Structure 1
């Protein structure tokens, strides 16, 4: 069965090796350039005390390739499910070649176990190699942004792609067994895989671990690092301030600007300080001086409540999500073994 499975899967293996070699060549060559540029720029800017502008320019230069690399790795598990998982059983059922194995000494269980094990291992190995390369490639940019919790970043780093690949492959195999046709199984695989990814990334992941909630005062220090400040055109409208989360943390949510009593403040409460900032130095050209606005607002004892996941929980979430997808893959494999007994042979 091992030899037969290899014979049936060798074309996909050769194609995967060629594509993997091409991706590895690109990541290694461009990654070496990225790491070199980061090291040189960091050493240069430290002597001129202008690291922010230099490193921002480096990040802007690689934003396009970064999106491409992340989307590539996020697509790999789905492609594995479509082209390796879905046809694995469905193609044999369509051609009727499963009869040859089942009418000899090979049992259905062994036939399925060898196929799932060998091709499943190849799927996880492929995703693992790509994930290792991408994680190394993106490490300087991750250091610059300080946030690995974004959906693209989290889904294309470290160990989660291994869980995604295992789930997508077994999902495709199960759907191929249920539909008994490769093309419908491939279409259903991509639809279900994307749906599960969205539900887990947006709905489940933020709630896997209890979040931390803190009250951040609005003052010169916090406002100097503010990401956004929006006030309503109406004096009775809300004031929205996005303060910076702790280094490396995952900012889940922030409230509106709140007064000492915990109630949202209105624009009228900050309009005087806003007018002073607008008339102050740097008002014409360049970014607003939010630190001066924070200093003016400090006596009002305003604050923002922030809910976030600390940076140290990154690996906890990685392991938990990988385990979740691995369990899903195991459950689907059990369904596959149960269902194979009902196929007419």
Structure 2
């Protein structure tokens, strides 16, 4: 059965390896180039400054670096689609193609039980998908590391979704979704279309409504007479809300902050006011990654359980 699965899916495996090699052909030279530029511009000043203020020369170097590699940062938008495409294009045909061509009847009457067939198919393809997703996720994380250190936040949706463990969860979820879609619609293209719609819907829902609440945000208030709000973008802090409150706690401005220099300005109603910020510290990045990956892996597990049951009922 293992040999049969390999023969059926070796072309997909070959394309996956070629795709990873093509990605590596861009990511590795680009990543090494970014690291050389990072060192040449003296951006070690970011770590050297610690929690203190960055000198002007360091800020200039950061602006030069991020401007030089702005295109690379934008490419992460395209990489967001990779887990979805891998999962759906591998998952949907896994069952649907057999049903569409009627070959499942031949397999299940040749001494191979439906359970054995499903375990071999789902297990081997799922294991290879997991390996590809791990290489992709941590490869992109390595590539983006200099940009993240220079101030492009890891919590940004276009960075969070393509690096670390998150692509593993997305890819396995898309794979399981495609398998279930194939077992329900019995044809490859409708299964792909349905899986795509559901995948996008779930991803948007989790990103917009669940992720911001994985942990209670840190709340910090500083006087409007102080420029520093205590949030450090270079550390990857994710600002979720800002507002200006009066001394009595009433809201003066929402989704904004302000500065009043009492030595030069008439603060007026802002006297005693506080800039209030709600944010997720950058050191929670991996906790959020684990939570989100766990959600999608759990969803994938439920879908695969349903697919196993569905295969046993197919005629």
What are the Cα deviations for residues 215-248 of structure 1, in whole angstroms up to 9, with x where unaligned? 22211332xxxxxxxxxxxxxxxxxxxx562443
Conserved 8 A contact 1:73-1:130: no
Conserved 8 A contact 1:76-1:127: no
Residue of structure 2 in register with 1:54 after alignment? 61
Residue of structure 2 in register with 1:40 after alignment? 40
Q: 1:1-345 residue pairs with structure 2 within 5 A?
A: 1-42=1-42, 50-68=57-75, 70-145=76-151, 147-222=153-228, 245-246=231-232, 247-255=235-243, 257-265=244-252, 292=261, 296=265, 297=267, 300-344=271-315
Deviation of the 1:44 alpha carbon: 9.7
What are the Cα deviations for residues 297-319 of structure 1, in whole angstroms up to 9, with x where unaligned? 49811112222122222111111
- Secondary structure at the aligned position of 2:138 is classed as helix
CA distance in 2: counterparts of 1:321 and 1:179, whole angstroms: 29
CA distance in 2: counterparts of 1:313 and 1:153, whole angstroms: 15
Conserved 8 A contact 1:81-1:190: no
CA distance in 1: counterparts of 2:302 and 2:45, whole angstroms: 53
Deviation of the 1:101 alpha carbon: 1.3
Deviation of the 1:54 alpha carbon: 2.1
Deviation of the 1:265 alpha carbon: 3.5
What are the Cα deviations for residues 3-40 of structure 1, in whole angstroms up to 9, with x where unaligned? 10111101111111111111111100111111101111
CA RMSD of aligned residues (A): 2.3
TM-score by length of 2: 0.88
CA distance in 2: counterparts of 1:146 and 1:66, whole angstroms: 8
- Secondary structure at the aligned position of 1:117 is classed as helix
What are the Cα deviations for residues 119-162 of structure 1, in whole angstroms up to 9, with x where unaligned? 11111211211112111111111001162111111111111111
- 330-339 or 150-159, which deviates more: 150-159
Deviation of the 1:254 alpha carbon: 1.4
Deviation of the 1:333 alpha carbon: 0.5
Deviation of the 1:291 alpha carbon: 7.4
Conserved 8 A contact 2:43-2:61: no
TM-score by length of 1: 0.81
Conserved 8 A contact 1:42-1:55: no
Conserved 8 A contact 1:82-1:187: no
- Secondary structure at the aligned position of 1:86 is classed as helix
Deviation of the 1:81 alpha carbon: 2.4
- Secondary structure at the aligned position of 2:252 is classed as coil
Conserved 8 A contact 1:163-1:322: yes
Conserved 8 A contact 1:213-1:308: yes
Structure 2: gaps (5+ residues): 47-54
Deviation of the 1:295 alpha carbon: 6.8
CA distance in 2: counterparts of 1:76 and 1:145, whole angstroms: 25
Distance 1:295 1:303, change over 3 A: farther
CA distance in 1: counterparts of 2:263 and 2:310, whole angstroms: 64
Structure 1: gaps (5+ residues): 223-242, 267-273, 275-289
Distance 1:191 1:293, change over 3 A: farther
